[in-house]
Amino acid sequence: MAAQRAGYTVTMFLVDVSPSMGKTRIVELPDGPNGELRDMEMTHLEWALQFVMLKIQEMIFNGRKTDQCGVILFGTDETENCINQTNGGYEHVSEYVPVGQPNANTLSKLAALRPSEETHGDPIDALIVGIETQDRYLSKKKTWTRKIVLLTDGESPIEVEDWKATVKKMQVLDVGLTIVGVDFDDEEIEFHEEDKPHIKRENEAFYQKLTEALPTSVIGTLALALEEVSRPEIKQTRSTLMGTVLRLGDPENDPLESMEIVIKTSKCTALARPKGWKRFAPKETTEPHEDEDEDMDGETEKKNVWTELKMRTEYYIDTTGGEHREDDENEDEDVEDKMDVDGEEKKQAMKVEKEDLVKGFKYGSTFVPCPDGQFERLTTRKGIEICGFFAKSGFRREYPMGEIQYIWADPVQPQQQVALSSLVQAMEKQRTLAIARWVGRDGSDPKMGVLYPCEFERVDCLLWAQMPFADDLRKYTFSPLENLVNKKGEKVIKHPYIPTDDQVKTMEKFVDAMDLMDAGEKNEDGKRDAWFDPRLSYNPAIHRTKQALFHSAVVQDLATNPLPPPHPELTKYFEPPRRVLKRVRGAVEECKTAFKVKEVPKRVARTRKDEHVHAQDEDEELLLDRVPKPATQRQTQPQRTLTRSPTTPRVTRIQLKRNDNDSESETESEDDDMELLLASKGKGKAASPKLPTPSASPEGSPQPDPGRAPGRIVGTTAPLKDFQRNIAQGDIVSKAVEDMGWAVKDVVMRPFSARRHREMKECLRALRAVCSQEDEIDAWNSIMQDLKEACLSDPGNVVFWEEMRKERRTLGLIGKSEARKLGGKSGVSDAAAEAVILGAVIICDCYQPLPVPVLLPSYNDYSGRFSSIAYLCMALAWGNGGPGRYQVVASEPRVDVVESLFPDAVMFNLIDRYLYDISEANEASDSELRTNEVA
């Protein structure tokens, strides 16, 4: 996109106020705080004016005097325009806002607009009036840009007799036309209005013909236009060329071996900053009653008015000798409060005037006075002087600071252009950069920087990047982590701080998996582009604040019409790409294993005797519902030691041990454990004297801890609810699936988790359903394999995995056939999916020329006895060729082991022959197994 000159533009807004614009419609609003759907009823005119007001706010926000606009209405009851006053005609067209720089009054006038009751206006008449009004205003400003924006619902009659003459006039004046229609058909968003009136259909066709005749014109629907207004955009503007001189050598003392090139400089990049904020505070004013006589009674009415706060600086000398001096970091923040609030502080300090002070500069721990306000400057001369050249490979990309500048040769001097082009090409050929000193004007401080050669298609130039001085660099040297020396001076080779070869390879794999250069969308050649583009990454602090300001100025009531969510272009780089998350999942698990990463449980803040609580960690979530318990609740805490009645001769103490790894949440009350313990002690015995029990928690107690680890969005307290809530958002499916698998595995591996087995299976059913629908099949298969390994490890949870085997049809791995029915893809064959969930022993026939592996299901008996498949293996070994023919290859294999032994899945049909119930297998004897299976 070609750069345009900032400002110097007049935009005419032509707004249709015909009776049809008074029709009402329902506009969807952002969801409420509790997720409820909300909408609002407004007229077509109010909806269209939101676009006009947002565009005008952009002009006010930029604050350029050369960015001006005007508003013309058509369909009004009266007629007031420049053509009607001189030549007559062009009825029902009025100039509502004259051309000029917009302000807050412009927005107020637009907000007060209402549609007419019976009068219709002609859009072509309004277009001609807008062109003429704009042309008269710019009669002496030929270089200004002219734009016209027409807003209508297309239901007013149009006289299309002389529209071609209007098009020719717009082409001569180079006027850009934008037509924004209410409920116009738009192919880009696939919108087509149903039951469209015949006149609107004909008018839309005419507007399409009109915009096609003008090369700089566009047409679109209002819904898309409002969305595009909130899109973050970086405007490319032409920078002003500033003249200076580029010197090589010393032209004054050695003119024969030096040269000067007349150049122009302009900005290549410019730092965008948020607008500054102004402080306001309520001020109470008194106003007399208007309906009463002030002479009769002096009653006044108090009224709060918001007034702008302005900074006022006063200087004081501390006469206390600095006894109460704060740290330097907090001194600036507290000085205002001290001066305004603490009256005693002012009494102890002596006020001085600014004229009595001497400016000084801090040098170490002392201040160096400077009566003149600045030290003597260097004698400098305006221009850019090349000090030397160095290899391009020695350029440090972290050193450039500030903005980049273009350095061009003088456009009107060909000789200077040839000289600069020769310098650029020579630097490019030698692959060198230049060190240069830039002085903006005579006597000013110099800047050191680097000149970088840049060759465009038709012009050569230099890029200037400012570099720091040597004193500005802070060099911190650290010895390499791999060089560890003990007290004896010997080099340590093995140490927890020195990574092993396996850890280095694992980390390299993890870094390679996070590569973003091939994580973007596919291009025309079918190759994936880079995921991150700095040109499309926007600063949320600028654009989101700007959107909030604009919305607050347009909307009358923020409670009923809240701020809409940010534009997707602003948030598309907030989350990592799903493609990379899937690719990195295996590398993350390998890193966890190689580096022995373990989750560190959070320390729960406990109430102390003096009612203080521990401070939260920096990375701990700030939850407003976590309120420390008041002092009255301390006595309701569960007692750590319970005793019998004092009347009993012997005191028996029951020590309750807190188990941090319980399957329930860490904030679970100890009342349940106490009741279970007392109930087990009291079975079959007479009722003993009641022990003191804690009272119920009072209202307002803190909410239970969701059990979410840092960085997790699914907790262990209510994983199913957390999972369903995150899936409903729709944009964090992969993260929710990953954290759900972690939560189930964490709960299952805890002691005493049997009471939550049913809940965990419900979570897995919901997880499997989401993975089947959201193309997360590989993630589900990976989660199930990890869960199996954890359950069958030591100590593990074999009981839970046996329950999973019984429900393999609904909770098993997703094979290729099932994935194909679901419209997805799976990397696990059907037989491998069956084998992994059932468990298997792979034996190999050693009498074959090439060992043929045979896969048989293994129903492991977790009580310690041989598995039924072990009996079967012995039967096969002794009944078919004697010992040594069959050897066990793998037991309880993963999918990758099964796939490597069975690349074509030919032998998996053997599974169905050996599928029998585990209870029958345990009850069968050795002879029955040998007879049934070997036969």
Please work out, in degrees rounded to the nearest 5, the angle formed at the alpha carbon of residue 627 by the alpha carbons of 624 and 630.
160
Q: Which amino acid is at 14?
A: L
Q: How confident is the model at residue 327 (pLDDT cuts 50, 70, 90)?
A: very low
Quote the CA–CA distance of 851 and 859 in Å, as a whole number. Answer: 24
pTM summary value: 0.53
**621 pLDDT exceeds 50?**
no
- The mean predicted confidence, pLDDT, of the chain is 76
Tell me the residue type at 309. Answer: L
CATH number of the 242-252+260-270+376-472 domain: 2.40.290.10
Residue 613 has a pLDDT of 52
User: How far is residue 96's CA from residue 114's CA, in Å, rounded to a whole number?
Assistant: 12
- Which of the pair, 675 or 514, is modelled with greater confidence? 514
> What are the tens digits of pLDDT across the range 430-447?
999 999 999 999 988 899
Q: What is the pLDDT of residues 657-669, one digit of tens each?
A: 334 444 334 333 3
Question: In the CATH scheme, what is the homologous superfamily, with its name and number, of domain 9-230?
Answer: von Willebrand factor, type A domain (3.40.50.410)
Q: Is the pLDDT confidence value at 344 over 80? A: no
Range of lowest pLDDT (81-95, 102-116, 800-814, 880-894): 880-894
For residue 830 the two structure tokens come to 């059907």
Residue 291 pLDDT > 80: no
Task: Please give the helix or strand (H or E) that residue 308 lies within, else none.
Answer: strand 300-308
Where in the chain are the domains? 9-230, 242-252+260-270+376-472, 501-595, 719-836
pLDDT tops 80 at residue 525: yes
918 Cβ partners below 8 Å, 6+ apart?
802, 805, 859, 868
- Band (pLDDT 50/70/90 cuts) for residue 675 is very low
Paired tokens of 222? 């209002």
Single-letter amino acid code for the residue at 541:
A
Q: What CATH number was assigned to the domain covering residues 501-595?
A: 1.10.1600.10
Q: Which residues pair with 439 in a beta bridge?
A: 383
- Dump the DSSP string for 621-658: ---TT--PPPGGGGGGSPPSEE---TTSSS---EEPPP
Which of 183-198 are b and which e, b meaning 16 or more Cβ less than 10 Å from the residue's Cβ? Answer: bbbbeeeeeebeeeee
**What pLDDT, on the 0 to 100 scale, is given for residue 387?**
93
117-126, 366-375, 603-612, 627-636: least confidently modelled range: 627-636
Least confident of 223-237, 247-261, 528-542: 223-237
User: DSSP string of 886-920?
Assistant: EEEEEES--HHHHHHH-SS--GGGGGGGG---HHH
**795 upstream amide cis, omega within 30 of 0:** yes
Per-residue tokens: 484: 């560890």
